[in-house]
Amino acid sequence: MTNTVRALRMVAVGLLLGAAATAAQAADDTYVALVPGGPHPYFAAWEQAGQDAAKEFGLEGADYRVPPKWELSQQNQLLESLLTQGYNGFLVFPGDPVGGNGVVSELVEQGAPVIATAGCLKQPTDASFCLGTDTGNSAYLGTQELIKRMGGKGKIAHFTGFLVDPNTQLRIDAVNKAAEEAGDDVEVVQVIADIDAPEPAEEKINAYLAAHGDEVDGIVTTAWIPAVVSANALRKIGDKRIKMVGIDHDEVVLQAIKDGFVDGTMLQNPYGQGYIGTFAIDRLRSGCTVKEDAPFASTALTDQFIDSGTAFVDASGVDNYVGAMQAVTKEIMSDFEDKYLTCE
């Protein structure tokens, strides 16, 4: 059993007692598909989360289904196929924040509720709401942590995700905002985007550090693969002068924090997204409706946003990162239905 799987099981056990009281009210024919925009390690936690939620809330099933490529057309085809196979509720990471709305409307028209998960659809949309990381806030807080460790001055390189990802521009803007607020002694000198895959990340990050490593004082990464590649690159060249704040909980990044090559990471909560989202889909299919006065937050894409939580961990807290994820998920679940849904 890998550390990641073991961690997810621990989160599930922690949520079990709270789920028991709700299971009897579930729709036993709810069959949820959890569908990312394409293959990516970030979403792997959705598989266990869906299975755990289905078991604990008494659903027919909840399955993780992945398009073969990061192409909107392939995601659309998969969603349409899953609907014909009997899935009647969907958690969807939009392959495109605008273009993804068409197929979502088709699913909802067929009676299958949709929650935009880990990334939002641009309103107007037929998705019930968006459940995900406040990516802008996470990138902003992570950059602030980086600047602290740089002593409040220096040059920053920012490595980030796919340009089709609706979160990427939000992260770029947030990193720039944190740097600008720090004053004239802090500057973002390089942004490299569209590298959330091993080959382009290895090629562009290693080339940049080979040519300009002596010219930067800090690295902030706001996507999974760039964080892993950057952590490996700093370890390979033995550089602890350059400060780095990463994202997510890949074991490479966590070990680099323990060994002093990375200063910390911004945790997201993919397990919580899958677990809470699957629960919410079932409640919507059981007759609940979204509250008109629900305390949603707003982003650049939607005014119906629920933050699935984020937390910064450094060497002092890296061994308990699972506890941080568990605490965030339990807190959201504790009053989720009361805050966001109206149920008869």
Q: In what order do the strands lie in the sheet with 218-221?
A: 186-192, 154-159, 218-221, 243-247, 264-267, 311-313
pLDDT of amino acid 253: 97
pLDDT of amino acid 13: 45
pLDDT of amino acid 5: 43
CB 273 within 8 Å of CB 46: yes
Residues in the chain predicted with pLDDT less than 50, given as ranges, are 1-6, 8-9, 11-14, 16-24
Question: % helix / strand / coil in the chain, to the nearest 5?
Answer: 50, 15, 35
Residue pointed to by tokens 């699972």: 322
Alpha-carbon span 280 to 289, nearest angstrom: 10
Alpha-carbon span 120 to 115, nearest angstrom: 9
Alpha-carbon span 94 to 28, nearest angstrom: 27
Alpha-carbon span 32 to 36, nearest angstrom: 13
Claim: this prediction has a pTM higher than 0.85: no
pLDDT of amino acid 28: 66
Q: Residue 301 contacts by C-beta under 8 Å, 6 or more apart in sequence?
A: 97, 120, 121, 122, 123, 130, 166
pLDDT of amino acid 292: 94
Distances (CA, A) of 145 to 3, 142, 171, 246, 341: 26, 5, 15, 11, 35
Nearest to 276 by CA among 318, 251, 234, 309: 309
Nearest to 97 by CA among 190, 193, 165: 165
